[in-house]
Amino acid sequence: MFNFGQNNFMSHLIAPSMLSADFANLQHDIEIINKSEADWFHLDVMDGVFVPNISFGLPVISAINRYATKPLDVHLMIVHPERYIADFKMAGTDILTVHYEAVTHLHRTIHAIKEEGMKAGVVLNPHTNVMLLKDIIRDVDMVLLMSVNPGFGGQQFIENTYSKIGELKNMIHASSSSALIEVDGGVTTENASKLVKAGADVLVAGSSIFKSDDILKTIHTLKTA
């Protein structure tokens, strides 16, 4: 299994969101991320039901996995994600996160993900209170806080995320959980440092990386924030 936790040199991990990559030149963008200081590939799967957008599914993840040399962090924005756990493992997923709002039996789903040999995470939409995870925080490997409403890239960052990170960090410490905190949505080189200081362990960035003039430099800036 890959090294899931933080490394010895930096305080946080960077996961470029491939939703913002150039899908006409996807292998090119994958290879740039491979040689960058980024730690994971972040892959958003949307079904047009749970969120009002459709992205990509298992065939694209399998294709990315053929070229990626770093772990695949897959974020499922779909209804009934529990039906596809084994399929995402087969496609090459290393970390699988499911929405609290989309899963009826969260404890069962988290353990089903782990039984497939993947790290298991839970995602909270901006309006969802972190205290709802109190009874499962020791079972999850990661909590992904959405700092925009899920469904589309390039949205404006929701400022309440900073206090939400703090609440979640306190819960993790109080319960002796080892869960990482990942933040996704509106992450830029301007707010990365503040997010890390608030307690974020993993920063997901899409538009700010792939729309920059120098992808490698932008990732370096995020990594050293």
Q: Cα separation of 164 and 171, whole Å? A: 11
Terminus-to-terminus CA distance in the chain, angstroms? 27
94 a catalytic residue = no
The CA angle 191-77-15, to the nearest 5 degrees, is 40
Q: Which amino acid is at 121?
A: G
Instruction: Pick the catalytic residue from 29, 73, 141, 184.
Output: 184
φ/ψ of residue 45, rounded to 5: -110, 115
At CA 139, angle to CA 183 and CA 88, rounded to 5? 65
Return the exposure string of 18-46: e unless at least 16 CB atoms fall within 10 Å of the residue's CB, then b. Answer: bbbbeeeebeebbebbeebebbbbbbbbb
> What are the beta bridge partners of residue 73?
42, 95
Task: Exactly one of 29, 44, 94, 201 is catalytic; name it.
Answer: 44
**184 labelled catalytic:** yes
Enzyme catalytic residues: 44, 184
